[in-house]
């Protein structure tokens, strides 16, 4: 094996093909071929966090059950807020893409305030009900719940939420106690990936927010709501496929993978 003839490389947090080649006495092309052969990608890094929620198993089974076997004649909604979305205005117009050149934007910008987007994703259809608020306290969350009650009159609603404190505020619980057709289901702590609306937030961020330039919060919110309207005209659901047992098996195996790699 090639590795048997290599000197042990010095400790480093990141290696380029050229730097590693110089350290171990190979050509950069050889190092690159080895990386390709074994599927190694040193330029990438992912982060992870295991939930320590003592009720993880029951909460996981509950959420996945709503996805795979929803209650009859009820509507399952994934609810969350994307807070502190900044209205950033670039100091110069963006330069369009050219052959051999990416689109370019100025590094500096002016801030014009923030908004918070509250969204409820219909699991069955993929459509989203959204509203923008200047803040994201329990007051705004309660107002959003009331808007859902008006939007879906007489329907039993099952809302999947994370453990953010505003979702469990006494005022929210009191209102829910008077509206028993609306049920909140909480994901385990450190498991926001169980909430499908997070996937939708990633889409709207990439397509409508991240590269935008907005000279006011009003224009930012108008862009968000316009994109949301277009989304709903062509909505498609995100399909959940893994069972709770599959997920728990993957989580159990994850530490073994990392221990083997180290």
Rounded CA separation 181/193 (Å): 26
129 and 206 share one domain: yes
Indicate whether 122 belongs to any domain: yes
Point out which residues pair with 133 in neighbouring strands: 116
135 and 177 share one domain: yes
- Report residue 48's pLDDT band, with 50, 70 and 90 as the boundaries: low
20 and 63 share one domain: no
68 and 37 share one domain: no
Rounded CA separation 196/162 (Å): 11
Number of domains in the chain: 2
186 and 139 share one domain: yes
Indicate whether 235 belongs to any domain: yes
Provide the residue range defining the domain that includes 120. Answer: 56-244
40 and 87 share one domain: no
For the segment 168-201, what is each residue's pLDDT rounded down to a tens digit? 999 999 999 999 999 999 999 888 889 999 999 9
110 and 28 share one domain: no
27 and 110 share one domain: no
pLDDT at position 255: 46
Indicate whether 250 belongs to any domain: no
Q: How far is CA 160 from CA 185, 242, 256, in A?
A: 5, 17, 30
Higher pLDDT, 192 or 75: 75
Indicate whether 255 belongs to any domain: no
Instruction: Identify the H or E element spanning 6.
Output: none
Any long-range contacts for 51-55 (C-beta under 8 Å, 24+ apart)? Answer: 51/188, 51/189, 51/190, 51/191, 52/189, 52/190, 53/188, 53/189, 53/190, 53/191, 55/188
Residue 230 near residue 54, CB atoms below 8 Å? no
CATH number at residue 181: 3.30.420.10
64 and 35 share one domain: no
pLDDT at position 10: 58
Indicate whether 190 belongs to any domain: yes
Sorted by sequence, the CB contacts under 8 Å of residue 12 that are 6+ apart come out as: 19
Indicate whether 258 belongs to any domain: no
Query: What is the greatest pairwise CA distance in the chain?
Result: 73
Rounded to 5°, angle at Cα 178 from 176 and 183 = 35
pLDDT at position 95: 60
pLDDT at position 47: 62
189 and 105 share one domain: yes
Helix and strand counts by DSSP (H, E) for the chain: 8, 5
125 and 19 share one domain: no
- Which has the minimum average pLDDT: 15-19, 174-178, 219-223, 249-253? 249-253
Indicate whether 36 belongs to any domain: yes
37 and 83 share one domain: no
Sorted by sequence, the CB contacts under 8 Å of residue 95 that are 6+ apart come out as: 103, 104, 105
Higher pLDDT, 43 or 179: 179
For the segment 93-142, what is each residue's pLDDT rounded down to a tens digit? 666 777 877 766 667 668 889 999 999 999 999 999 999 999 999 999 99
Across the chain, what does the average pLDDT equal? 85
Sorted by sequence, the CB contacts under 8 Å of residue 206 that are 6+ apart come out as: none
Burial class from Cβ neighbours inside 10 Å (0-12, 13-18, 19+) for residue 165 reads exposed
Indicate whether 70 belongs to any domain: yes
Average pLDDT over residues 19-46: 85
Rounded CA separation 257/255 (Å): 5
pLDDT at position 68: 93
In this prediction the pTM is 0.77
């Amino acid at each position: 094996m090639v590795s048997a003839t290599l000197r042990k490389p010095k400790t480093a947090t990141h290696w380029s093909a050229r730097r590693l080649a110089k350290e171990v006495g190979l050509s950069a092309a050889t190092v690159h071929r080895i990386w390709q052969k074994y599927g190694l990608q040193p330029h990438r890094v992912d982060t992870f966090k295991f939930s320590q929620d003592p009720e993880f198993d029951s909460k996981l089974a509950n959420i996945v059950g709503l996805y795979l076997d929803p209650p009859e004649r009820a509507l399952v909604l994934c609810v969350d807020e994307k807070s502190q979305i900044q209205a950033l205005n670039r100091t110069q117009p963006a330069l369009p893409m050219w052959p051999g050149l990416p689109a370019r934007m100025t590094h500096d910008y002016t801030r014009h305030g923030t908004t918070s987007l509250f969204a409820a994703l219909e699991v069955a259809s993929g459509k989203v009900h959204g509203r923008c608020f200047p803040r994201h306290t329990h007051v705004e969350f309660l107002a959003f719940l009331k808007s859902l009650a008006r939007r879906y009159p007489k329907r039993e609603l099952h809302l999947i939420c994370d453990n953010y404190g505003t979702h469990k505020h006494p005022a929210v619980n009191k209102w829910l106690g008077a509206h028993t057709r609306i049920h909140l289901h909480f994901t385990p702590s450190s498991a926001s990936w169980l909430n499908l609306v997070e996937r939708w937030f990633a889409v709207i961020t990439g397509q409508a927010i991240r590269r935008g330039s907005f000279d006011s919060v009003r224009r930012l919110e108008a862009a968000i709501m316009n994109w949301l309207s277009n989304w709903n005209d062509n909505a498609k659901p995100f399909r959940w496929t893994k069972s709770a047992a599959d997920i728990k098996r993957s989580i159990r195996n994850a530490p073994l993978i990392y221990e083997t790699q180290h």
